[in-house]
Amino acid sequence: SSEVLEAIENVIQGVLQSLAQNKAPVLTVANRTDWRNIEFKDSVGLQMIPRSTTKQIRSDCPQSAKRFALMLKILSMIYKMVQSNTYATKRDIYYSDTLLFGSQSVVDQIINDISCMLKIPRRSLHVLSTTKGFVAGNLSYTEEDGTKVNCTCSSTVCIINHKDLNTKDLTSRAKFMLIVEKDATFQRLLDDDFFNKVSPCIMITGRGIPDLNTRLLVRKLWDSFQIPIFTLMDADPHGVEIMCVYKYGSVSMSFEAHHLTVPSIKWLGLLPSDLERLNICKDALIPFTKQDQNKLASIQKRPYIACQPLWKKELEVMAASKLKAEIQVLTSLSSDYLSRVYLPNKLQFGGWL
């Protein structure tokens, strides 16, 4: 906490020095979303280059004066929270003055800018994501306050929150982890008692694009157990993108890649080639939209696809067919095909990329 306070004090000192010299104060932040500032490393994923281009948020420019003021406002809030050892979600910060901030996305972007500017991980700023991820399966741990949590009972689904990231006594007999894209599929696998039937495993869902806590937990479990991690996603560009966020990280959070990515993650399904292999009826597939085509073209150009020739082939299959499918399409074969046939066969015979 002293490091965070000192980093904020240095920023404010710079503002005061500018004012003392009759200069307009300026905050300098890295261009987080510029691909020219990003490099790809097999062992880490997408990370920000050391000397990235920056942008200035000036206090004397009409276009940036409000953003400058909002950054100081949020820095002040963070400083008080770190001092008093209290926490707030990004949503709490937005609702503390909705008229001032204007929108939740403004708050989210500023917090990420501050984290990048101070070179301090976001969780150390005492700002939490609104929790949405779930974990279940062969996992138990003790929270900071001594509460014992056991996810092994099939009826126990634990919400992933910041307390899970400071847990101790993490224990598991899991042979692998399964990251599931959607909550509906996750719940279906729970109903089928999947994580006990095949072999002990840990199941996680970020319920779509994963929040920071879910990504941090996946990384923590990987560091703790070093077991294989598989992803179960829809066979569409959106599903591929979500899988890439877990595996390689996102451009906007590339400055924190070392804490968030697990490059050893494998693509288990639903593979575009599976649709033909399993003779899925064409009527059950969904035609691409223009947005799907653009998303897929963008993914195919990314630096990490070049080092994944088998992924590249699957994306070419998807691009050629211009068709996508949700995991639920497997119910057209039988209601429990996913848990009874598809996943056991994939895991037993190595059907992952």
Beta bridge partners of 232: 180, 269
Residue type, position 59, single letter: S
Q: Token pair for residue 253?
A: 């959070």
In whole angstroms, give the CA distance from residue 175 to residue 201: 6
Residue type, position 110, single letter: I
To the query of whether residue 95 is one of the catalytic residues in this protein, the response is yes
Q: Are 125 and 114 in contact (CB under 8 A)?
A: yes
Beta bridge partners of 149: 141
For the packed helices 290-300 and 309-321, what is the interaxial angle rounded to 10 degrees?
160
In whole angstroms, give the CA distance from residue 226 to residue 243: 19
Q: Token pair for residue 279?
A: 């003779």
In whole angstroms, give the CA distance from residue 81 to residue 75: 10
CA nearest neighbour of 212 among 260, 141, 263: 260
* Cis geometry, peptide bond prior to residue 270 (ω within 30 degrees of 0): yes
Q: Which of 79, 94, 95, 342 is catalytic?
A: 95
Q: Token pair for residue 53?
A: 């281009």
Residues assigned a catalytic role? 95
